[in-house]
Amino acid sequence: MQFLLGDMNWRIDQSYESAVYLANQNKLADLRPHDQLLKYKSQKPLINRFKEGPLLFKPTFKYDEDCDVYDSGKKMRVPSWTDRILYKPDQCLLKYYNRREHRFSDHRPVLAIFECEVKNTNQELKAKIQLQSLQQIQESIITRGLVKTNTASMIQVDHSNLNNNKLQY
């Protein structure tokens, strides 16, 4: 399974005023042709091997602090789909792709849910990775002071989505 994800910094080639207007009017079909990543993918076969879900949500960047207003500061950065999740389609089936409406950043996070077939599972390695992941989570929670040391051992990883060799995450 191969994924490319994060703040990729691709922008929309439009003026600030035009992009804000189109985004606020939910005229996303008029914004998509100006998306730099979509243009780039059509020219570069290597990145074109990766697919992305449809951009049916408003641009994820750049918002004023703790509100739903696109950048109204001095820079007035053009709203853009900078936050992306790309994947190899022959390895996974995309079930959901959208942005979340959290306001803890000047970005809106993007969420994707995939269904992937797991061909072979090394149970010993899986158990080792699960234990290491749980220990890292516990250490992170303790370090941040979110729980006391003796309660961190009660944290469990839920593996209930692993059945019939299909993993949904």
Please write the tens of the pLDDT for every residue from 5-41.
888 899 999 999 999 999 999 999 999 999 999 999 8
Residue 163 pLDDT grade (very low, low, confident, very high; cuts 50, 70, 90): very low
The H or E element spanning position 152 is helix 149-152
Enclosing domain of residue 136? 123-168
Tell me: do 143 and 87 sit in the same domain: no
Tell me: do 32 and 53 sit in the same domain: yes
Calculated CA dihedral for residues 19, 24, 26, 30, nearest 10 degrees? -20
Tell me: do 37 and 92 sit in the same domain: yes
Give strand pairing partners of 107: 61
Tell me: do 50 and 107 sit in the same domain: yes
Q: Is the pLDDT of residue 164 over 60?
A: no
Tell me: do 93 and 145 sit in the same domain: no
What does the pLDDT read at residue 169? 37
Closest by Cα among 46, 45, 86, 81 to 62: 81
pTM of the model: 0.68
Tell me: do 81 and 153 sit in the same domain: no
What does the pLDDT read at residue 158? 47
What does the pLDDT read at residue 90? 83
The number of domains in the chain is: 2
Q: Which of 67-81, 128-142, 146-160 is predicted least confidently?
A: 146-160
Q: Is the pLDDT of residue 130 over 90?
A: no
Tell me: do 23 and 90 sit in the same domain: yes
Q: Is residue 83 within 8 Å of 7, Cβ to Cβ? A: yes
Q: Is the pLDDT of residue 82 over 50?
A: yes
